[in-house]
Structure 1
Amino acid sequence: MKKIAEKWYELETTPMQRIVVDDGLRFIREASKKGEIYDVLLIDVCYNEHRDLMAPIEEFMVDEEIEQMNKVLKPDGAVIVNIVTRQEKVAEADKVHFVYSRHFPSCYFMHFGKYDKMLFCSKKEKNSWLDNADELRERFRRIDKELRFDLTGSEKEGKQAKVTLH
């Protein structure tokens, strides 16, 4: 993954952004023991076989592990979880939302296409889609534009949005 990120996404390491190749849960547990604090955790772990819920893997759905994630985040930090389900099992994503919502006061989905979702959970109160839709939509558009992902589509070209938020 490191080579792919560097080659295809031009990822560069900086003092504020580094690549760690390790077991994700072990890394989080060790960071918690050391008192390390992060702005954001991106959880993108997937089985390499067909399952109803392919991502995240079961280990990232355990309450104790999610609590460790919470501990290593700044007070306004967030965890982002990539969710992959089989087409006929899209409700499996709701299970991920339910488990993470027990540890983070604000969680919402971002849909990419018909079956792909990301779960955004914040430690901040009232940072959910229901409480903050306009600000979150604008923040997403700025990030999308700055990083040139083009997830929202180009307004100049009249493209339809590729992302729905709620």
Structure 2
Amino acid sequence: MKEHYLFGSLDGTFLSHTGSETSETRKLKKQSAGLSQRAKEKEEIILKKLLSKDEYEIDEFCSGMDQVCFVIMDRVRNVTGRILAFRRLKRKGPQGVLTLSETRLQPPSPLTWKNFNSKTWKVRKDTARLVYARVMIAGSFMSGALQFNTTKKQDVLIIGLGGGVINNYLTTMKNQKLNVTVVEIDPVMKKIAEKWFDFQESPLHRIIIDDGVHFAYSRHYPSCYFMEHAGRDKMLFCSAKKKNSWLDNRDELYNRYIAVDDALGFQLTLRDQCSSYPLD
């Protein structure tokens, strides 16, 4: 025998049972489906608007030191059905526009006319979009300057801020306790990082406005090696450890590089490091 259960409000204004579907229930389902369809259509219209331009300029800052100007640009992409959004910091100059930093944004879901403005979207600090930034992060662990997967407090000094993508990433890494100091000579860069790249000062994260040479000049690094990536990005890694240069310790450094790249999902060892990054 099929069981039926009756439930309803105390005043008797709504009664139903699990054994059959009332006309009121069918009506509510139809209305819900209609609302969902309209919301989907509205979201498609909003997305089409966001994709209509390659990128949008959302702000501009000019340095009081040398009058060089910087623009902040947002762009939205539909990548195989995934809606990805990014924010770029670009430097204007006589040689053209140079991209200094790029971070990922988190689009809200669902998209509405109230939340479609990318200026308000959350910055994803767990992503380093530009390849050079990923190489810099991986290189700090590969060189042995930082230990991977340890909660021991470790000091990091970064000369030059940009948008603050690298320091933001380091301070949000799981299973790491990194005490990050960024030295930046131009005060306008700190304003940009605070307003558009969600820099937040903390006991383990700070920006000092000064000449980075003053911080690094007196330090002695016996082990240095030069890395060139894709013929464009050139980086010098220095370690305070002795006999830790590429010539002295090549195999260990390379194996460490592969392990860190795999653990962070940076895809630096792949032929194409950009099209499928980030993974989520």
Q: Which has the higher contact order (CA 8 A, sep 6+)?
A: 1
More helix by share: 1
TM-score range, shorter chain: 0.3 to 0.5
TM-score (norm 2): 0.26
More strand by share: 2
TM-score (norm 1): 0.41
